[in-house]
Structure 1
Amino acid sequence: MKVKSVALVAIAAVIAIILPATNIITGAITNPFSWKSLKENAFATDYYTGLLNSIRYSIGYSTSPKQAVVGYNGWLFLGDQYANSMSVSRSKLFMTTGKMDARKAWREKWRETILKDFGAKFYVTIAPNKEEVYSENLPNWAKPYNKLPYSSFLNMQHDESLIHLHDRISSEKSSSPIPLYYKNDSHWNESGAWIAYQAISKHIKSHNPNLTFLAQKDISISNAHRTGGDISKFLFIENQVTDFDPIISTKNNSNIIIRSFESGAILYSGKNKRIDSPSSTIVVTSSDAKNDIKVLWLRDSFGTHLSPLFASTFKTVYQRHWGGIITNDLAFRSLIAKTSPDIVILTIVSRSEFELTYFNK
């Protein structure tokens, strides 16, 4: 009994030394002299959990399938905790023509309202889910069956405001030297965003021939790498995996200023860069945009890699996450009235658009 007690004490002592040391070395403890930092992170096991999970990941096993699904060739996909992604992919949840007609009616209502009451154009861009574009990398149990995929229903919609990006991105992936989506993140990368931008610009220009958009000659693409993205973080393996991270530079090399719309305070001033999805309205002005117009852009995280391209295209871009706006008619009208845009653009990922029951009304 005494030997067991000594052994347990010894093991506890080793752990008490190893865990804090590991968390200092890996940066989990940002300040070893701060009691708060030590208290919060001294005995965190994320690093060793990540090492163990990286082994599981390599053989196709996920410790949190509700959050992250491990596919073929190292690809990770969102689980059902996020907008029922896998159930939609497997066609366990599926769209109906009635719901699609309701969505089309919503778009048409706002297209007519925004044009009539505010003199602006309205466009809805739907970014395809990663599993729609790279379904060949899904595990066999997660692949769609029987029912038509959501993208097929979108292809049946032909209203002026809809910009459906699935087919364009899917057709370009085979000719791209690198994937258009991150393997261990749920989003497209800048190469994917560039393909999306080209489709968006082609559609908008067909209704606004006086506008000018970026062309292939206006950009350069350099290849870089980064550590894991959002899905890999669910498995604590973001530091054990890497991914391609193409960087697009525009040759006009614009500077931008980001201000709070409410207060006018300058939040950033410098080189054009990616902008994360803002929870409150911001104003992005560009020094060298191709068009001196104002755009109200309601967006989600799929707008992050599009944001430098939009800043190089439109002089003034009001940005805000669409949450709480597109499901509230008064808030939507109020924001349009306050910003007085020439164009209103909604960018929303397919899984979110699918889940919004508001559109079914």
Structure 2
Amino acid sequence: MNNIYNIKNKLFIAVFLLLLIVPNLVLIFGVESKIGDNENLKFKKFPKIDIKKPTQSLSSFKSYYLGNFGLKKTTVNQYINFKETVLKEEPLPNYNLTGKDGWYFLGNHYNNVFYDSFGMTGDNKTKEIINYLNRINQYLNSKNIKFYVIFPPNKHSIYSEYLPFQLEKKETLYNHLKRELEKNSTAQLIDLHSVLLKEKKENQLYYKTDSHWNDLGAFIAYQHIIDYIKKDISIQKLELKDYKVSTDFKVLGDNTQMVNIKEKTEVINFEKKTPSKIEVLSDDQKFLHFKNESKDYKLILYRDSFSNALIPFFNETFEDAIYIRNFKINKKDIENNNPDIVILELVERNINYLSKADLK
């Protein structure tokens, strides 16, 4: 009896040790590094350890381990497959929603993107945002710099008909802010919602499998932005005839990547027939800098990922273009670069971030 008890104990200990050791071996040898990513995150590199900064080093290692621990991808993949094939359920409903006709949308994990769509807004938040934009505008006006604000629409704001449920027509934070800005601010908001809702009747402007607009949607937004700026500054706008436009099909999308769907989606490609000679001064994604000697005016664009598709068009339009991956405008950026134009771009679902921002 004691022998059986000892064997059970040893087996339990052995299994327990295997559960501890195997995931770490998988991590050390990078076994999962080539497995498809189901969380829309890149495999993290081992952080630099600085003995002089133990707290920071420990925090970096913790972040690395939590993002890469062994068998994480395999386990999540199996969970997703089980939910989809056996239970016939949405595997990650808080991250991704499967819509109609092959359309996919972000879930509420992304800054409660749908709460606002149901009309959950607040006046205090709007006032704080307007105060922030007014402070920026006053500061830039004092330096004779033009300031514009753009909020690329949420995908479901343009294509709500493809959602798996019907949204009630209630006032969103964007609509409320737009109305209040017109009444209580001199900051210039360039409304992209109206033009994209109009143009979508003729063409698809967002990817079915990704949360962003496609290059055609970005080009239409670009033209609308430049048309607005032309009221203040004489600037040349790119036309569709300047480009060779083609389509192909690729596996693409932050939505479908999360749930292991590898289906191809239509991709629209823009190729400039006569491209400008553009010099890359910085390719750091947090601070991109381009020079185009054939054009005029200097631009600083504070941005998020929605500007990725705008950048090639702006590079063909401005002599000097700086793209800063941040929504907090910094006076040092302005004073060090002396732009003619500053644009603040932030996707609609993150507008509320501006309520906590400050001009420094």
The TM-score range, normalised by the shorter chain, is 0.7 to 0.9
Instruction: Say what the alpha-carbon RMSD is for the aligned residues.
Output: 3.4
User: Is contact 2:278-2:315 (8 Å) kept?
Assistant: yes
SS of structure 1 residue aligned to 2:110: coil
User: Is contact 1:250-1:312 (8 Å) kept?
Assistant: no
Partner of 2:346: 348
Q: 1:167-316, aligned counterparts within 5 Å?
A: 167-176=194-203, 179-208=204-233, 210-235=234-259, 237-238=260-261, 240-260=262-282, 267=283, 278-279=285-286, 281-286=287-292, 288=294, 291-316=295-320
1:292-324 deviations in Å (ceiling 9; x for gaps): 22111111100000110010001211111124x
Partner of 1:12: none
> Structure 1 pair 144/42, CA: closer, same or farther in 2 (3 Å)?
closer
TM (normalized to structure 2)?
Answer: 0.73
SS of structure 2 residue aligned to 1:244: strand
Query: C-alpha distance in 2, partners of 1:161/1:68?
Result: 33
User: Is contact 1:286-1:316 (8 Å) kept?
Assistant: yes
1:258-298 deviations in Å (ceiling 9; x for gaps): 223xxxxxx4xxxxxxxx9x22x23111354xx32211111
User: Is contact 2:178-2:189 (8 Å) kept?
Assistant: no
User: Is contact 2:84-2:91 (8 Å) kept?
Assistant: no
SS of structure 2 residue aligned to 1:74: coil
Query: C-alpha distance in 2, partners of 1:250/1:154?
Result: 36
Query: C-alpha distance in 1, partners of 2:70/2:136?
Result: 49
Question: How far does residue 204 in structure 1 lie from its aligned partner after superposition?
Answer: 0.3
SS of structure 2 residue aligned to 1:206: coil
User: Is contact 1:95-1:153 (8 Å) kept?
Assistant: no
The equivalent position to 2:93 in structure 1, one of 65, 69, 90, is: 65
> Structure 1 pair 50/115, CA: closer, same or farther in 2 (3 Å)?
same
> Structure 1 pair 90/115, CA: closer, same or farther in 2 (3 Å)?
same
The equivalent position to 1:319 in structure 2, one of 318, 323, 332, is: 323
1:74-119 deviations in Å (ceiling 9; x for gaps): 211111111101222233x2254x5435433432332232121x22
User: What amino acid is the match of 1:230?
Assistant: D
Q: Percent identity?
A: 28
User: What amino acid is the match of 2:140?
Assistant: I
Query: C-alpha distance in 2, partners of 1:48/1:232?
Result: 16
User: Is contact 1:99-1:360 (8 Å) kept?
Assistant: no
> Structure 1 pair 309/43, CA: closer, same or farther in 2 (3 Å)?
closer
The equivalent position to 2:112 in structure 1, one of 80, 84, 102, is: 84
> Structure 1 pair 296/146, CA: closer, same or farther in 2 (3 Å)?
closer
Question: How far does residue 151 in structure 1 lie from its aligned partner after superposition?
Answer: 4.3
1:220-277 deviations in Å (ceiling 9; x for gaps): 3211222131111221x24x222111011223312433223xxxxxx4xxxxxxxx9x
Query: C-alpha distance in 1, partners of 2:110/2:72?
Result: 29
Query: C-alpha distance in 1, partners of 2:86/2:192?
Result: 34
SS of structure 2 residue aligned to 1:213: coil
1:155-177 deviations in Å (ceiling 9; x for gaps): 5243552112011101100111x
User: Is contact 2:298-2:320 (8 Å) kept?
Assistant: yes
Query: C-alpha distance in 2, partners of 1:186/1:53?
Result: 23
User: Is contact 1:292-1:314 (8 Å) kept?
Assistant: yes
User: Is contact 1:65-1:79 (8 Å) kept?
Assistant: yes
SS of structure 1 residue aligned to 2:226: helix
The equivalent position to 2:170 in structure 1, one of 135, 143, 147, is: 147
Question: How far does residue 187 in structure 1 lie from its aligned partner after superposition?
Answer: 0.5
1:8-47 deviations in Å (ceiling 9; x for gaps): xxxxxxxx9xxx9xx99x9539xxxxxxxxx988895366
Question: How far does residue 133 in structure 1 lie from its aligned partner after superposition?
Answer: 0.5
Query: C-alpha distance in 2, partners of 1:42/1:146?
Result: 44
SS of structure 1 residue aligned to 2:212: coil
> Structure 1 pair 64/217, CA: closer, same or farther in 2 (3 Å)?
same
> Structure 1 pair 102/214, CA: closer, same or farther in 2 (3 Å)?
same
Unaligned runs of 5+ in 1: 1-15, 30-38, 261-266, 268-275, 327-331
Partner of 2:140: 114
Question: How far does residue 346 in structure 1 lie from its aligned partner after superposition?
Answer: 1.0
1:317-349 deviations in Å (ceiling 9; x for gaps): 1111124x33xxxxx111100111111111111
User: Is contact 1:102-1:360 (8 Å) kept?
Assistant: no
User: What amino acid is the match of 2:132?
Assistant: W
